[in-house]
Amino acid sequence: MISIDLHAKNALVTGASGELGRTISRTLAKCGCNIAIHYFQNEAKAQALQKEIESLGQKAFLVQADLTKQNDVQRLQSQVEQGLGTIDVLVLNAVAQYMWKPLLEQDVADYVQQFESTVMQAVLMTKAFLPAMVAQHSGRVIAINTECTMQCLPTQSAYVGGKRGMDGILRVLAREVGPHNITVNQVAPGWTETEKERVQPSQSANYEQGVPLRRRGTDQDIANSVVFLASELASFITGAYLPVTGGNVMPSI
């Protein structure tokens, strides 16, 4: 019988107080991970998540930081190491939210913000946490990308620009740290149902008609993929961009 056992592993989930981040954190904890819960502003939801994870018998450590600022990331790394120990699984889930508009109408500041919250988050967080993974000759980096990077639809330009930049950074990183037994992969959700948004049949009907599996994915679908990539079952997978979209986008060869 195959099972996913992450006992004695420490995971850090950025944006863990958000809709998707909470489900990823819970699922990792159910597989045995201790969780460093990162949040930026929503302390109440982060605290509630901490109680949930502790009720599962796992350690949960809260840490607040602005991941676009190097000093904040350095402080976060020091606090996590002292409070939880070396991170084995780094999940880059946080991203800034903004109003999508056509490129000619999108504020330039939105492009800067997306670059900082995707590309620079990946750079700063891996610089902070991968040296310890290199020292222990093992580790997992899992970033949340999006199906939008393959769609390139109107109004997506700032989001796609940031996520495509992150994709390039992480593919290079996968080659650089592979010799240290560290894998670097990306999970790319489609339009995902979360706790906040479970049922919108009228709004999602057209989208679902274009999905081969004829439904939207759930936050649990995404979390399951993250846990798989964190496990030994995925020990020979690195540099992957894994769409979890029901077939809505399909990378070609």
Q: What is the pLDDT of residues 80-131, one digit of tens each?
A: 999 999 999 999 999 999 999 999 999 999 999 999 999 999 999 999 999 9
Q: What is the pLDDT of residues 215-240, one digit of tens each?
A: 999 999 999 999 999 999 999 999 99
Q: How far is the C-alpha of 35 from the C-alpha of 20, rounded, in Å?
A: 15
The active-site residue out of 98, 111, 159, 241 is 159
The pLDDT score that the predictor gives to residue 239 is 98
Side-chain-side CA neighbours of 138 within 13 Å: the count stands at: 12
Q: Is the pTM of this model over 0.85?
A: yes
242 DSSP β-pair partners: 187
CATH 3.40.50.720 at 10-240, yes or no: yes
Asked if residue 73 lies in contact with residue 124, where contact means CB atoms within 8 angstroms, the answer is: yes
Asked if residue 103 lies in contact with residue 52, where contact means CB atoms within 8 angstroms, the answer is: no
DSSP 184-206: EEEEEE-SEE-SS----HHHHHH
Distances (CA, A) of 232 to 140, 235, 236: 10, 5, 8
Helix, strand, coil fractions of the chain, as percent rounded to 5: 45, 15, 35
The pLDDT score that the predictor gives to residue 202 is 58
Residue 207 is a catalytic residue = no
Asked if residue 58 lies in contact with residue 6, where contact means CB atoms within 8 angstroms, the answer is: no
